Structure formats: C-alpha cells, structure tokens
Amino acid sequence: MSGTNSLSLILGLVLFSFSFTSVLIVPFIDILYKLKFLRFKEAPKLGKVPLIDKLLDKKAGVPTGGGILLVAIVTLLFLILIRILSSSGFYIQSSHNLYWEIFILIFTFISFALLGLSDDWLKIFGKPKKGTLGLWFGLNRKLKFILQWTLGFTVAFLIYHFLGISIVHIPVIDKVINLGVFYIPLAALIIVFFANAFNLTDGLDGLSCGLLLIFLVSYIFITATALDTPLSVFISLWIGALIAFLYFNVWPARIILGDTGALSFGATVAVIGLLTGNIAVVFVIGGLFVIELVSSAIQILGWKTLKRPLLPLAPIHHTFLAIGWEEPKIVTRAWLAGIILAILGLWLSTV
C-alpha cells in the first residue's frame, strides 16, 4: 500500500465515520432521554453539600451513555470494513498475526465498555450504598478493580502469547528490553492504569475526548509509519466518530461519555501503545491522563498519611475549577498542553 493510498484511505474513513455518527447521535440522545439514562445529582439532600457536588451537580440531567454509541459504531464499522478491504483484494499489512491483533483490539474495546456499562447502569438505576465519605453509587469499588485487573491480565496474556510481544523500547537511548513472561503483569498494569486515568479525566465537558482526539491523531502517524493497516483503520474510524461526538460534548455538553466509553477508551489507548511497541510514548502523548491519575493518587496519599487533602480537589482539573477557573478555560488549556505533549511524543518516537 503506497503512502498516497494509505492517506486517502485514512481520510476517507474519518469522513465516513464522522458522517455515520453525525446522523445517529441526535436520535441516540433522544433515546437516552426517554430511557432516563441521565446524570443525577449526587449531593446529599440533608446536611452540608460537598464542594465537588456544588461544582458538578449542575450537569445533572445530561444523557450519560455516549460511550455506548461510539463503541457500537466504531466496532461495527471496523469489522465490516476490514472484511470488505480484505475480500476486495486490498493488501492489509500488519506487524503481527492479523486475526489476533483484530481480536485483541475489539475484545479490549468491548469488554471494558461492558464493565463500564454495568457501572453506569447501577449508578443510574441501582440503589446507593453507604461509603466511607458518604453514599457510594455504582459497582462495588473492590469488585470493579478486580474485574479491571482480570480483563487487563487477559488482554496482556493474549498480546504476549498470540502476538509474541515481550519487549519494551526505551526512546532517546534506543534501548530494547526483553521482559519475557514478566511482560504480562507490566502490560496489565498499563492497561488498568490508563483505563482509570481516562475515567478520572472524563470530568469536564470535552476534556477527555478532546485529549483523546489529539492522542489518536498522533497515533495515526505512528501506525501509518509502522504500516499497520488494522490499527490505522480502527483509529481512523474512531477519530471520525469522536469528532461528531465532541461537537455535542463540548461545554455545555448535551451528552456525556459515561464509564462505558471512559473505561473502554482508556484501556484501548494502552493496548494501541502496546501493539505499536511505543509504551513510553503513550505516557508522553497521553501525559495529561497520567497527570490526572497521579493528582488523585497524591490526594489519597494525603488523606491516608496526613489525614487531610493535599489539593483543594482531585483530580487536578477539579482543583482548577475550585480555585475559580471557568470550565471552558480549563479544557482549552488542557487541549493546548495535550498538543505540545503529542508533538514531544511524536518526536520521541522518531529518535
């Protein structure tokens, strides 16, 4: 496949996916309203209202199942188009076993989406449980974490066993380390890390999806250079659907991603990095996701060790909200930081 044909395919798929999603998203929002699949107020009805609830409960009533639509569209279009491209004689290049690469990609995308959907469903329609700091909504935290690790280890094993990936490349010094079977726990850790990092980032209108768009555009260059057709096709379709979704997700959002999309997208971001062999670059291009999770870890550490918070709120975007920054300003500046990190990451992938 020549560079020109590859570029034409990528651009065409982005436009096709964007158009397809644009047609479906407004009727889908209407369906979510009818099903009452909406964000709810978390503030207690009696007593002192926590600061986080004061800041974010104004988003109550917004449909929160955007991830359901995006996962369904990208998965369906990807499987259909890969089959069409293959049967039409289009030369599909891959660095790995084609069947297992596609299976791992789709398995990650769907399995983490189903876990997130379970959490979303229980948050909206289930009964709240009493937690350490108030009422707890959704899946039990420990169970959710166990399921994430189970899926993470499953995907990591599939990558190691069926694709034969066991190396880690360190850019700049250009060092390759073969971890052998120890690659599995490392890969599982990275998958769970990014699933939670993305989920934490998905707290302001347009924040996580805008950063994800920057990440995916960056990885189009990496996968095109690596001549990996399945990844290029998948990312192209994802970009198109994401642009259509982001139009309705920017402030003030008409639809929210929800855990269905957040867990799925975060885990798949990690898997894309693992499949391309650019684990270090994922942490750079996805640096804002990393910062969000680290800020939450710092806050937890403060409560555990000093019995007080170290930040006004966590994750970090809530801190900016608490000190008076307007939501669109936080999101826009995060996007700008994400662009700079993407440029840095792309540079690192070439040295």
Binding residues: 199, 259
Amino acid at 211: L
- DSSP summary character for residue 228: -
Which residues participate in the annotated binding site for Mg(2+)?
199, 259
Q: Are 38 and 32 in contact (CB under 8 A)?
A: yes
277: region left, alpha or beta (phi > 0 left; psi from -120 to 50 alpha): left
* Listed residue (310, 331, 309, 308) closest to 320, CA to CA: 331
Whole-angstrom distance between the N-terminal and C-terminal Cα of the chain? 25
Question: Cα separation of 249 and 310, whole Å?
Answer: 30
Q: Specify the residue for token string 């403060």.
A: 302
At residue 165, the 3 state secondary structure works out as: coil
Residue 76 Cα distances to 106, 245, 325, angstroms: 10, 17, 40
Instruction: Count the neighbouring beta carbons within 10 Å of the beta carbon of residue 103.
Output: 13
How many residues in the chain? Answer: 351
* Listed residue (242, 208, 240, 228) closest to 272, CA to CA: 228
Q: Are 57 and 42 in contact (CB under 8 A)?
A: yes
* Listed residue (293, 218, 263) closest to 109, CA to CA: 263
Tokens representing 30? 């209407």
- DSSP summary character for residue 10: H
Residue 167's φ and ψ, nearest 5 degrees, are -110, 155
Instruction: Count the neighbouring beta carbons within 10 Å of the beta carbon of residue 78.
Output: 23
